[in-house]
């Protein structure tokens, strides 16, 4: 055995000796584009990240710093600084401003490793980042980063959301997630979260999750909640909650409360201040804008039972100023003409919609009779269905209350005929859109949001509006 071993060593040395001159003659700079020579990017990293925050950035390709069983590409060097600037502006600086440099230097990972492509998982999903032991973050998909495309999967929001998600995991490794959080949607966590049939975006929302991935396990749920609140912003989150079922809304709001409380109790961080700093950076540096605030739309006010009355008075001056719908005016004129032709010569004055609840509308028509000055009210109840996310409002007639004089007035033969001929089919035979009308009233006017109305879905020329009173 000893002779064989020596023989093998000898052959190895011989082979090495035969190749020695050839190896020495190879200029590795021609083949290794990642040869470690300091450049302007290295100097920028040192000045802006490594020195102030004690973070090492590794962007030169090192196969051993991620899963070696997966195919990963190197980074495009031109993408490195824009990505790191986004990390600096929307993650490091906001935390530094709110929590202090000592906090970020102590808890942030000490090493960031960048790769050009995503990392594919066996279930078809991809990894955009990983946090390892609280000390290293691996950041994938750098080559697809688009600084000018804020909202895409390769844009600033998505990249920074990933960063905040991973940092939340690190925070949770230092201070555990409140136990109550894991109980809120405990029965609905689903490890096979990529299953589109069992876990679509709508299913996840309906169960009280902020994303499909949040449904995987409560730790991911907490990180997703934190990242979405910080990066997508409060208006986006409010809209998301409003468009969810009532039970899911309660779960999402409780999760939000626990996230805010966690940052205060665990680290003394005012989460709302941190959120404002992240949003300010996204808006001032990258041009981000909040979506339309659905909580401040007329259809949401209806759905949340915030509206008391909407009054249509044909004689009001605002219809001369801002205009009115010819289609609706014709219908209402025909109604008043028929009422006036009846034996009591009813003279219609106003039509007011009152909203006793989020599911009920009462139509109140005021009128006088003949030459009299006494004002009567004819009332008619409707079931109201408000689909706030789709902005679709429908009405269905209810039976009137026989014990109230206003309902009895509505049943008078001189009033009932006109109602059944014109008003009833107008309200029950179409789908409505609720909005702040008239459209000619600018949002800068102090009267904006004091007027509102309904237009026919698919036929915006058919509408009515008037001043509203909130509860």
Rounded CA separation 449/401 (Å): 32
Within 10 angstroms of residue 256's Cβ, the number of other Cβ atoms is 20
As beta bridge partners, residue 347 has 368
Give the 3-state secondary structure of the chain.
CHHHHHHHHHHHHHHHHHHHHHHHCCCHHHCCCCCCCCCHHHHHHHHHHHHHHCCEEECCCCHHHCCCCCCCCCCCHHHHHHHHHHHHHHHHHHHHHHHCHHHHHHHCCCEEEECCCCEECCCCCEECEEEECCCEEEECCHHHCCCCCCCCCCCHHHHHHHHHHHHHHHHHHHCCCCHHHHHHCHHHCCCCCCCCCCCCHHHHHHCCCCCCHHHCCHHHHHHHHHHHHHHHCHHHHHHHHHCCCHHHHHHHHHHHHHHHHHHHHHHCCCHHHHHHHHHHHHHHHHCCCCCCCHHHCHHHHHHCCCEEEEEECCCCCHHHHHCCCHHHHHHHHHHHHHHHHCCCCEEEEEEEEEEEECCEEEEEEEEEECCCCCCEEEEEEEEEEEECCCCEEEEEECCCCCCCHHHHHHCCHHHHHHHHHHHHHHHHCCCEEEECCCCCCCCCCCCCCCEEEEEECCEEEEEEEEEEEEC
b/e burial code for range 13-28 (CB count within 10 A of at least 16 → b):
eeeeeeeeeeeeeeee
Least confident of 56-70, 199-213, 301-315, 445-459: 56-70
Rounded CA separation 332/316 (Å): 15
Quick check: do 40-293 and 299-470 share a fold?
no
Least confident of 77-91, 104-118, 142-156, 218-232: 142-156
Query: Can you give the pLDDT at residue 280?
Result: 96
Residue 95 CB contacts under 8 Å (≥ 6 apart), including other chains? 103, 104, 108, 274
Residue 69 CB contacts under 8 Å (≥ 6 apart), including other chains? none
Residue 229 CB contacts under 8 Å (≥ 6 apart), including other chains? 237, 256, 259, 271, 275
Residue 72 near residue 63, CB atoms below 8 Å: yes
**Over pLDDT 90: what percentage of the chain?**
66
Least confident of 28-37, 40-49, 115-124: 28-37
Question: What's the length of the chain?
Answer: 471
Mean pLDDT, rounded, of the chain: 88
Q: Of the spans 57-61, 110-114, 281-285, 290-294, which averages the highest pLDDT?
A: 281-285
Closest CA to 210 of 181, 173, 248, 182: 248
Domain boundaries, the chain: 40-293, 299-470
* Mean pLDDT in residue range 184-207: 93
Residue 208 near residue 187, CB atoms below 8 Å: no
Query: Can you give the pLDDT at residue 123?
Result: 65
pLDDT in tens, 128-166: 777 666 688 888 888 888 887 777 777 889 889 988 999
How would you classify residue 323: left for phi > 0, otherwise alpha for psi between -120 and 50, otherwise beta? Answer: left
Least confident of 124-138, 206-220, 368-382, 401-415: 124-138
- 63 pLDDT more than 90: no
Rounded CA separation 383/427 (Å): 11
- 211 pLDDT more than 60: yes
**Half-sphere exposure (CA, 13 Å, Cβ side) for 227?**
26
What is the CATH class of 299-470? mainly beta
pLDDT in tens, 264-275: 999 999 999 999
Query: Can you give the pLDDT at residue 18?
Result: 37
How open is the CA angle 328-354-346, to the nearest 5 degrees?
60
Better-scored residue on pLDDT, 208 or 139: 208
Least confident of 33-47, 295-309, 449-463: 33-47
Decide: pTM greater than 0.85: no
State whether the Cα torsion 40-44-45-51 is positive or negative. positive
What is the CATH class of 40-293? alpha beta
């Amino acid at each position: 055995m000893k002779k064989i071993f020596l023989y093998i060593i000898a052959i190895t040395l011989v082979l090495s000796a035969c190749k020695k001159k050839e190896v020495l003659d190879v200029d590795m700079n021609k083949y290794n584009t990642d040869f470690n020579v300091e450049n302007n990017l290295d100097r920028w990293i040192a000045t802006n990240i490594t020195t102030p925050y004690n973070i090492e950035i590794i962007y030169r390709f090192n196969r051993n710093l991620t899963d070696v069983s997966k195919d990963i590409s190197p980074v495009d060097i031109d993408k490195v600084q824009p990505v790191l600037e986004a990390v600096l502006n929307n993650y490091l600086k906001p935390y530094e401003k709110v929590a202090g440099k000592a906090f970020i230097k102590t808890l942030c990972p000490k090493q960031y490793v960048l790769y050009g492509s995503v990392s594919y998982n066996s279930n078809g999903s991809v990894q955009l980042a990983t946090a390892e032991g609280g000390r290293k973050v691996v950041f994938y998909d750098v080559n697809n980063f688009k600084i000018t495309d804020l909202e895409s999967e390769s844009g600033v929001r998505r990249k920074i959301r990933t960063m905040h998600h991973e940092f939340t995991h690190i925070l949770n490794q230092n201070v555990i997630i409140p136990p109550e959080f894991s109980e809120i949607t405990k029965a609905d966590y689903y490890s096979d979260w990529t299953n589109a049939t069992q876990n679509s975006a709508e299913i996840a929302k309906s169960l009280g999750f902020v994303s499909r991935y949040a449904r995987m396990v409560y730790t991911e749920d907490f990180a997703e909640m934190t990242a979405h609140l910080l990066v997508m912003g409060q208006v986006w989150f409010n809209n998301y909650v409003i468009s969810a079922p009532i039970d899911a809304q309660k779960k999402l709001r409780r999760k939000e409360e626990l996230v805010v409380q966690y940052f205060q109790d665990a680290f003394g961080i005012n989460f709302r201040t941190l959120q404002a700093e992240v949003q300010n950076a996204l808006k001032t540096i990258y041009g981000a804008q909040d979506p339309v605030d659905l909580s401040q739309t007329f259809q949401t006010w209806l759905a949340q039972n915030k509206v008391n009355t909407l009054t249509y008075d044909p004689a009001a001056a605002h219809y001369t100023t801002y205009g009115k719908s010819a289609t609706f005016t014709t219908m209402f004129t025909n109604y008043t003409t028929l009422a006036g032709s009846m034996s009591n010569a009813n003279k219609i004055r106003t039509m007011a919609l009152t909203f006793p609840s989020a599911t009920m509308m009462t139509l109140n028509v005021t009128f006088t009779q003949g030459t009299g000055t006494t004002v009567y009210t004819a009332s008619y109840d409707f079931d109201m269905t408000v689909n706030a996310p789709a902005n679709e409002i429908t009405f269905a007639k209810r039976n009137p209350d026989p014990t109230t004089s206003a309902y009895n007035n509505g049943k008078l033969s001189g009033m009932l005929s006109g109602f059944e001929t014109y008003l009833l089919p107008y309200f029950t035979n179409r789908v409505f859109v609720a909005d702040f009308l008239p459209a000619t009233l600018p949002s800068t006017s102090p009267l904006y949001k004091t007027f509102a109305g309904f237009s026919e879905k698919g036929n915006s020329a058919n509408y009515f509006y008037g001043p509203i009173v909130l509860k």
